[in-house]
Structure 1
Amino acid sequence: MTLAPAQPTREQPARETTYRRVMLKISGEALMGNEGYGLHPPTVQRIAEEVKSVHDLGVEICMVIGGGNIFRGLQGSAQGMERTTADYMGMLATVMNALAMQSALEGLGVFTRVISAIPMDQVCEPYIRRRAVRHLEKKRVCIFAAGTGNPYFTTDTAATLRANEMKCEAIFKGTKVDGVYDKDPAKFDDATRYDTVSYDDVLAKRLGVMDASAIALARDNNLPIIVFSLDEPGGFRGILAGEGTYTKVGG
């Protein structure tokens, strides 16, 4: 009798996956869809399905979602608001996005924890590193909210910090384009995409992958950043299987 090959389980990552624990960083604007503001439920659902498809491979997933679809601290301060207050408002916006993503994921049967750098016990868990690691080991998706808990730091920096603390093997930066280009591909037809690029080149050429603090922190810990299109169906799962179009920064 011929036995069918064993299927990958949530306890054992599928053999074809490149990484076993990853950080997915997306902007708050990614949740807007075609809306100009706030949350677009079908878009949130689509992204949740992308995350579930990778989770089903057995990959442990961390997430950080920006808050720019609701409030961006830097823009608020530019309009006369005190910067620290504006940044805290932006952090609260990331908690709202994290709760929306948690609801979508759990609706798909994926156990999820929202973990906030600013304590709000009735809404989500406070950030405790060892507890967060344990959630990942139990195959729960961990969504880290409220940035680092400090003003003047972006969610890019928060994602890189948490990725290092959780010992993630890579950061996946979901964007509207399929990688890093030498100039804006939306404005220049002759823009060239990099297959790989060094941390130092990203900083020197101001390629806009992440802010300088996040890139420097990734470089100091040799943490690769995979930039890919979040709008490409199956793109997140495909890259983990060694397929698709993307740019790898460092690593």
Structure 2
Amino acid sequence: MNSLKNKFSFFFITTCISNLSFAVFYLFKFYSKDFYENEGADIINLLFLQVSSTLLLIFFSALNPSKIFISVKKGISNRKKEGKIFFDIMKFNIMPLNNKLTPYLITILFIFLFSLILFGFILIINYSGVPIFEVLKFPFRFIQNLNQSELYYVVYSFLLVNIGYILCNPEKSAESYLLKFKVYLNSLVIAFCVCAFFILFNMFFYFSANATNNEIFTDKAKIAYSMFFNIAFVANSYLVETGYLKIED
């Protein structure tokens, strides 16, 4: 277990466990006869929660209070060595370095500024046609989600465990989680292409011509997409862990 932790990041290990478990679940659900109409919509909501949780972890790693506080403390120490009296940003003096509250207040200020930048970035994505707000809201529908499916507990456990890791390992987690943003974009494309092939090839034999016109066919397609999305994300995460995407850059 220790060798595994030394070779791969905590986020990659928990992602493999969570996403591959869901992929296996979707595989059995796809071929299951115990299937009800509109179940595909519930599974798509579960996939949205998975996507939302991962994006929130990526954003939180960028806004990690622990990492920002450590950076601020280093900044204060460097400024004291330079003989400065105030904590300055772009030549503007903000607060005196000897004030005990300065590290905490500057940390809050940076979190606020970075949050504005991140919010602006999300707004740009949202107005470009990608409904990112609709995706990000899923984890905050806590009561509604838990009333829908016991599987939501798995996603919330994944989210909380990784938040704890980010707070306890601010320096180590930052690069690992931020790299996953590129991975997630790649996974969207790969999952869509592979799933489209799966639907066209597999369902051609699995369903009759008449069956493709009912709701069950649509539900099966949603489950197939969810399954391959999880597989694609794990595969792309592995490429990042082995440094493949770094070499490409």
Determine if the TM-score, normalized by the shorter chain, exceeds 0.5: no
- Structure having the higher strand fraction is 1
The two structures have a TM-score, normalised by structure 2, of 0.31
The two structures have a TM-score, normalised by structure 1, of 0.31
The structure whose Rg is larger is 2
